[in-house]
């Protein structure tokens, strides 16, 4: 081959195999490093995440070290309508393959007031859209912090997985409190079940939220914005045990078997009631199943409160409607306001329309020799005692209802209890002997009472 031909071929090979790839590489690097390309890539990535989560996502920078790997820094999640800040994450390592997606989040933070919004995002955008997320997702988080007002608590580790199938979508998670290294992790599961609907057994799909703390004490303030029940018992209250909450359209049912609530602020629980009761209480639920649409309510447990105040009107109402015997009533005048107490301990068993109360002060240390049924003690003297007799569960609602003449004890303060206390299917013998009175079906909010004409 002629020397000039060899040189031409060598130059051509250099251009094709060295110069051209180098120019293309330099050009690609220049384009990808440009502000225009970075902005377009950021917008596409934010749109992808927003389409998956339903939240507006903003981040300061991102790296794409491999075709299936991203590193995102300083993410902020906002609600798409209100633009309220839902949470933030310092850094996210994201690996996506055709088989699965894996995420590692560093120092995520969630605002407790927007916890319900975060729940709706997971439930509506992920669990209810199985075709949107076809492959499993694994999520790990370090130092997950939930901010609730001036308080905050941290989970040192979180391991979660999301699996979608034709019949159901499941979110499973294990959480470890930062100050509970020697305690077992908290187990959380959210199940979106489509089997009953597919089998034509129901017109509605159900979502089941299950929480098991495995003995770990969880601050109730963490779930106060998510479960109104936890908001009513005070910011210092804590929860441990089992909780299962099932939702279906406008129906729900709650299971709290073996649950324990500690440091309940009774004054916070009764702040909207017309009767006074304060103190720090502990409630142990041995059995608790509530299903309003099935008209089923089975609750059994005990309440222990110490060092509080109880209103005289509330004691009188308990005597009249709950058949609780009162003692030392002649000495009540020495207290200008509410009556203080040392110990209030009472067991309760609600089964449908019936309820039974049992004073349990003698089960506490230092009160072994007190009579059976002693429910309230002050300065070593019994103030109230229960009787071993079953009564209608609606009497509890009557006892704490405001003092007015309408016999149906429905008020703005007590109407939520109608989901728990089930009325009898027919009047009892006591009700039949009571002279008829005018009834009002409206929620009582004050003002003149409805009375019979004189």
Residue 134 placed within a domain = yes
Lowest mean pLDDT among 54-63, 124-133, 362-371, 377-386: 124-133
Same-domain pairing of 77 and 155: yes
Instruction: Give the per-residue SS3 of 252-318.
Output: EEEECCCCEEEEEEHHHHCCCCCCCECCEEEEEEEEEEEEHHHCEEEEEEEEEEEEEEECHHHHHHH
| Whether the Cβ atoms of residue 75 and residue 58 lie closer than 8 Å to each other | yes
Instruction: Write the DSSP assignment of 88-110 as a string of letters.
Output: EEEEEEEEE-SS-EEEEEEEEEE
Residue 430 placed within a domain = yes
Q: Which residues pair with 385 in a beta bridge?
A: 325, 374
Q: Where are the beta strands (DSSP E) in 118-150?
A: 137-148
What are the pLDDT digits (tens) for 302-350? 999 999 999 998 999 999 999 999 998 888 888 888 999 999 999 999 9
Residue with tokens 């199985």: 130
| Whether the Cβ atoms of residue 347 and residue 383 lie closer than 8 Å to each other | no
Alpha-carbon distance 80 to 46, whole Å?
Answer: 13
Same-domain pairing of 436 and 362: yes
Same-domain pairing of 113 and 249: yes
Alpha-carbon distance 180 to 104, whole Å?
Answer: 22
* Domains identified in the chain, total number: 2
User: What's phi and psi for 71, nearest 5 deg?
Assistant: -125, 115
Q: Return the SS3 of 54.
A: coil
Same-domain pairing of 280 and 251: no
Is 73 a residue whose pLDDT tops 50? yes
Same-domain pairing of 64 and 194: yes
Alpha-carbon distance 107 to 158, whole Å?
Answer: 11
Residue 41 placed within a domain = no
Is 161 a residue whose pLDDT tops 80? yes
Residue 262 placed within a domain = no
pLDDT interval class at 446 (50, 70, 90): very low
Alpha-carbon distance 63 to 65, whole Å?
Answer: 6
Q: Return the SS3 of 212.
A: strand
What are the pLDDT digits (tens) for 347-399? 999 988 889 999 999 998 888 889 999 999 998 899 999 988 899 888 888 88
Which of 190, 225, 255 is the last residue before a domain boundary? 255
Which of 255, 290, 313 is the last residue before a domain boundary? 255
Percent of the chain scored above 90 by pLDDT?
Answer: 31
Domain that holds residue 247: 49-255
| Whether the Cβ atoms of residue 180 and residue 186 lie closer than 8 Å to each other | no
Which of 225, 255, 285 is the last residue before a domain boundary? 255
Residue 431 placed within a domain = yes
Is 218 a residue whose pLDDT tops 90? no
Same-domain pairing of 180 and 322: no
Same-domain pairing of 336 and 301: yes
pTM value is 0.78
Alpha-carbon distance 77 to 54, whole Å?
Answer: 10
| Whether the Cβ atoms of residue 245 and residue 208 lie closer than 8 Å to each other | yes
Same-domain pairing of 211 and 78: yes
Decide which of 7 and 233 is more confident. 233
Alpha-carbon distance 195 to 260, whole Å?
Answer: 33
How many Cβ atoms sit within 10 Å of the Cβ of residue 127? 19
Q: And the tokens for 168?
A: 């159901």
Instruction: Give the per-residue SS3 of 388-442.
Output: CCCEECHHHHHHHCCCCCCCCCCECCCHHHHHCCCCCCCCCHHHHCCCCCCCCCC
| Whether the Cβ atoms of residue 276 and residue 314 lie closer than 8 Å to each other | yes
| Whether the Cβ atoms of residue 386 and residue 375 lie closer than 8 Å to each other | yes
Is 163 a residue whose pLDDT tops 80? yes
How many Cβ atoms sit within 10 Å of the Cβ of residue 25? 10
Same-domain pairing of 286 and 209: no
Residue 151 placed within a domain = yes
Give the residue among 396, 308, 299 at the shortest CA–CA distance from 345.
308
What are the pLDDT digits (tens) for 394-427? 888 888 876 654 444 555 555 556 566 665 555 5
Same-domain pairing of 194 and 343: no
| Whether the Cβ atoms of residue 409 and residue 397 lie closer than 8 Å to each other | yes
95-106: average pLDDT:
89
Residue 437 placed within a domain = yes
Stretch (H or E) spanning 11 = helix 3-14
State the Cα angle at 349 between 347 and 350, rounded to 5°. 140
Alpha-carbon distance 122 to 356, whole Å?
Answer: 42
Per-residue confidence (pLDDT) for residue 33, from 0 to 100: 66
Instruction: Provide the CB-side half-sphere exposure for 177 (13 A, CA).
Output: 17
Q: And the tokens for 139?
A: 């999520």
Residue 79 placed within a domain = yes
Same-domain pairing of 210 and 317: no
Decide which of 255 and 448 is more confident. 255
Q: Which residues pair with 346 in a beta bridge?
A: 303, 359
Same-domain pairing of 224 and 287: no
């Amino acid at each position: 081959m002629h020397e000039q031909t060899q040189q031409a071929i060598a130059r051509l090979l250099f251009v094709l195999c060295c110069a051209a790839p180098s120019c293309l590489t330099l050009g690609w690097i220049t384009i990808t490093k440009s502000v225009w390309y970075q902005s377009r890539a950021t917008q596409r990535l934010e749109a992808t995440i927003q389409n998956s989560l339903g939240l507006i996502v903003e981040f300061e920078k991102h790296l794409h070290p491999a075709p299936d790997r991203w590193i995102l820094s300083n993410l902020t999640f906002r609600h798409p309508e209100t633009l309220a800040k839902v949470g933030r994450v310092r850094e996210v390592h994201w690996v996506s393959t055709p088989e699965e997606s894996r995420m590692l989040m560093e120092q995520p933070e969630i605002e407790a007031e927007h916890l319900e919004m975060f729940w709706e995002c997971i439930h509506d955008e992920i669990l209810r859209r199985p075709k949107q997320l076809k492959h499993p997702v694994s999520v790990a988080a370090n130092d997950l912090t939930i901010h609730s007002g001036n308080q905050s608590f941290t989970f040192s580790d979180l391991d979660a997985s999301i699996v979608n199938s034709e019949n159901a979508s499941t979110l499973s998670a294990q959480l470890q409190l930062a100050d509970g290294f020697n305690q077992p992790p908290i187990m959380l599961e959210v199940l979106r079940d489509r089997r009953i609907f597919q089998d034509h057994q129901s017109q509605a799909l159900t979502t089941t939220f299950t929480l098991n703390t495995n003995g770990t004490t969880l601050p109730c303030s963490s779930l106060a914005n998510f479960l109104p029940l936890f908001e009513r018992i005070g910011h210092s209250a804590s929860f441990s045990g089992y909780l299962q909450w099932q939702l279906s359209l406008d129906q729900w049912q709650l299971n709290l078997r073996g649950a324990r609530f500690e440091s309940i602020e009774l004054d916070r629980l009764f702040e909207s009631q017309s009767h006074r009761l304060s103190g720090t209480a502990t409630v142990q639920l041995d059995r608790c199943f509530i299903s309003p649409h099935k008209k089923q309510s089975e609750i059994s447990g005990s309440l222990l409160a110490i060092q509080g105040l109880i209103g005289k009107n509330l004691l009188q109402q308990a005597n009249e409607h709950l058949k609780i015997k009162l003692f030392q009533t002649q000495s009540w005048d020495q207290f200008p306001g509410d009556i203080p107490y040392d110990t209030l301990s009472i067991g309760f068993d609600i089964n449908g329309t019936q309820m039974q109360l049992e004073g349990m002060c003698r089960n506490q240390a230092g009160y072994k020799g007190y009579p059976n049924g002693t429910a309230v003690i002050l300065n070593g003297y019994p103030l109230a005692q229960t009787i071993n007799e079953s009564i209608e569960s609606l009497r509890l609602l009557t006892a704490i209802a405001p003092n007015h003449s309408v016999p149906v004890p429905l008020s703005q303060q007590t109407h939520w209890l109608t989901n728990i206390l089930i009325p009898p299917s027919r009047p009892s013998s006591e009700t039949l002997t009571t002279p008829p009175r005018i009834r009002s079906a409206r929620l009582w909010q004050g003002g003149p009472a409805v009375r019979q004409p004189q």
